[in-house]
Every structure is written in C-alpha cells, then in structure tokens.
Structure 1
Amino acid sequence: MRTIKLAVCLAVCVSLVTGPAAAQSDPADAIGTPEVVGKLFKCREIADPDERLACFDREVAVVYAAQESRELVIADREQVAEAKRGLFGLKLPNIKLFGGGDDDDDKVNELTATLTSARRLDNGRFIFELEDGARWIQTEDSPGRKRFKAGDTIVIKRAALGSFKARVNDKSAGRVRRLN
C-alpha cells in the first residue's frame, strides 16, 4: 500500500514538473517549478511595497489552495529520500524527478531492510518480503544451501546493467529483481 502511495505521489510530482512552467525562462523554472509557485516567486519583482504585499497575499492563497486540493505536493528532502527509497528497484520512466537523474548525488544505490518473510519457491529460489511491503525475487541460483527467515537483515545493491545483488545476514543471496 505504501508503494502505491509513493507511486501516486510520483505521478503528481511528474505532472507538476512537466507542466507549463518548464517552458519559461526563469532559472527557477529550469528545475521544474510549478506555475502556481512561479507566480508567487514573480511577486518579488514588484517594486511598490503595497502591490508586492498584495501579490504575495494573493499568490500564497493560491499555493495554499493548490496544496489543500493535492494539485501541488510540497516535499522536504527527508520525504524525497523516503520516496526514493520506497521506489528503489522499480522500473520507472527515465525522468528527472525530485531534481534527480543519472547524475543525481542523492540517488539510492543501496537498501538495507529487515525481512518480514523469505519463502522458498519450487525452483529453490526465494521471494523476500521487506518491512515496507516491497517484494524481491532471486533471479539466479545462489551457491550453497541457504536459509533465510523473517528478522534477517537484507542489503540490496545496484549492480551492472540495471541489475541488483542481495546479501542476507552477510550471505550472498545472488541477483534479485523487485516484484512490486
């Protein structure tokens, strides 16, 4: 359920980032400032103090209404980091969301979590369920006979060519793929 909420937040943010504000020449718009916020920023340019204050009052009310109606989602760094962590491993469109992209310094490259379950399939591979509800499946056999269980610590790292490798309690679990 949490992943679905994060995906909805992602969709809302994408619609805001790719909106009409992206076509404007203001430097703030180069990072995808939503139009409603851009209008608020433009109030700074008004020389007359009374007109500037009236502009700020008017535009803040519009921003507030947009946030209340969920047309605008405002997130701090911590919320963005949580969203990135929740989306780790999912195949998403290649977009610059939350100021990110391939050159994103805050890109999540590793995830450490606690297993809520580890179920062995008929083919001997495991499905791992993490505490946040994310499910990962082994995509290759791991050497040796392994036993994984709820409460174990799993570390999933980005690997070559968009793949992921997992370790459970410092034992190799091989390559994995996110299911949800």
Structure 2
Amino acid sequence: MFQCGLKINNIKKMKKTIYLPLILVAILASCTEEYSLEDNGITVEELPGYVAFSAPGTGISINPVETSEDAGTVSLNVEIPTSSPSDVTVNYSFGGSAVYGVDYTVEGASNAGGQVVILKSTEINLDGLPDNADIDVQLLTDGVVDGLKTIEVTLVDASNSEGDIAVGRAGTDLLKTAVINIADIDE
C-alpha cells in the first residue's frame, strides 16, 4: 500500500508537470489581441528624413561656439538621424562678419560655401550615433586688431540617391545654422 501511494503521488506530480505548462501556453496565447495606439487616442507620425547640426541630447538648438582666432580648427558636426540608404551630400553657405580666406577657410569650400558628404554606414551602428560628418573650419590669425568676428554656417540643401532630403530638424529651421564667435587675439 505504501508503494501504491508513492505511485499515485508521482502520477499527480506528472500531471501537474504536464498540465501547468499547457495552461500557461493557453493563457499566453489568449493574450495576442492586437493593440493599436490610434484606438487609444495616440497617433504616431513618422518623421521625414532630414539633416541637421548635431545638438547635445534632444536639444533643438546649439549654443554659439566661442573661440579665438588662434584656436586652430573648429568642427561642426552634421548628422542624418533618420539614416539614409546611400551617401548624403549636404550643401552649406557662409555668412557673418568674418571674411573667408582672411579669418577662416574650409578645405574644398569657397567664400560662398561648400559641401560635406555624410557616408552611409556600412556597419551596424552599435554606438547609437547617427551617420554624420564634420565641417572643419580652420581659423586664421590676421595680425590686425579687428574685434569679435562671427561665422554663420547654414545648411542649404541635401540629397541622396533617392532625391532631396530636408535640412534642419524635421525640415524646420531648428539646427539649420551654427554660429562661431571668434575673439580677436591682437587687441
């Protein structure tokens, strides 16, 4: 009788072992109801692709870069946070009181502006950073007392193999212009 009691207990344990996972699967399978954000008053809108100057965190503006004419190079980072299926060519223009060729230069650019190419990443982006490229502004010392000067670099347009891409955060004026303030060292 003692052995029979053991066998009955073992059968009960086996039933629990078999039925418990089956019950859990049935419960989980019943939880497959589709969930729609729109049904709950939430709408999701995909942002169009765009290029913009990089801003820290989720910032919508960047502070002017404060530097001096003997600082060497100032790098302005341009990014495409939404990624691109191909390289992106970004055209930019110069403005401000600084004079191109006297106060600053940019390799491959002219006094009107230039372009930078954001290469499509060929590797999986594990660092979480979007595809990006730098506009490297080489500051020049001029030996003349001429006070504070500014350079305004404005993104004008961008395109890839599929066509035009908006400039500025989500196609707005946000993060479309970067300003460099250059202090005179000859004062």
TM-score category, normalised to shorter length: under 0.3
Higher strand share: 2
Q: Which has the larger radius of gyration?
A: 2
Higher helix share: 1
For normalisation by structure 1, the TM-score amounts to: 0.26
